[in-house]
Amino acid sequence: MSRRRTLGPKKKIALLVSAATVAGGGAFVMANTSNAAPTPTTKSAADSTVCQGLATALGNNQKFIADQRANPDAQSEARIANREAVVEEIKRKQEASGCTVGESAQGSQAAQPQQPAPSQPAQGEQAGGGDAAQDPGGGGAAASGEQVCNGSTVTLSGEAGAPAASSNQFPAGTKLKVTNLDNNKSTTVEVTSVSGSCVLLNDAAFEQVREPGKFLIRRAVIEKVG
């Protein structure tokens, strides 16, 4: 008659502890594996039109701030404070759009093939207000109805308020008609402040002519109409 070998109480406890340790280790590895999230990737201006538009807007505002600091006047401090707030808003838009936050570019004057202005009437023509502006000099002598800023792309300044524009070539009060040739939408706005490019549209004006999801108009016609 065979005798069955039994384990003593101490050996049973040791085996149970070992099994629990192995199981716990496996659970820990599985938990770490399941909780490991992929590192999000960001897009640069070269990868996305959205990111390029935001980088250009950021670059224009940073250039404006640098110019104001290099050549200050009585209103420079207020203008710089305003544009620094705009810069932070653009960075928030970069983050929300999956772009590289803080990427800056000066692309508003990039050469583009010249396109004829569309013949249909402007849509959503409005003139808006904004902060006080100084005459930046330059292209304000263009005749009414003349096409200006040839080859410029158009992006947004990031400023709030009623539809308006800013410019480094046209004084406050100048009216500019901006046409997006990619969707044939136009808006006529008043220049209310200075900026680092020929024309920047504020958020409200840019909404009138933008294509959904884009922060840059590559094919634009800009006319001085008043």
Report the pLDDT value the prediction gives residue 83, as an integer from 0 to 100.
Answer: 85
Q: Give the structural domain span for 90.
A: 49-224
Report the pLDDT value the prediction gives residue 35, as an integer from 0 to 100.
Answer: 55
The structural domain count of the chain equals: 1
Q: Is residue 195 part of a domain?
A: yes
Q: Cα–Cα distance between 16 and 18 in angstroms, integer?
A: 5
Q: Is residue 112 part of a domain?
A: yes
Report the pLDDT value the prediction gives residue 50, as an integer from 0 to 100.
Answer: 85
Q: Is residue 12 part of a domain?
A: no
Q: Cα–Cα distance between 214 and 38 in angstroms, integer?
A: 27
Q: Is residue 111 part of a domain?
A: yes
Report the pLDDT value the prediction gives residue 187, as an integer from 0 to 100.
Answer: 96
Q: Is residue 220 part of a domain?
A: yes
The three-state secondary structure class of 132 is coil
Q: Is residue 144 part of a domain?
A: yes
Report the pLDDT value the prediction gives residue 142, as an integer from 0 to 100.
Answer: 56
Q: Is residue 44 part of a domain?
A: no
Q: What is the pLDDT along the chain (226 residues), one digit of tens a residue?
A: 555 555 565 555 555 555 555 455 544 444 454 555 555 677 887 778 888 888 888 988 888 889 889 989 888 888 888 888 888 988 988 899 899 999 988 754 433 333 344 444 333 333 333 333 333 334 445 556 789 988 888 988 888 899 999 998 999 999 999 999 999 999 999 999 888 788 999 999 999 999 998 888 989 999 999 8
**Residue owning tokens 């932070």:** 88
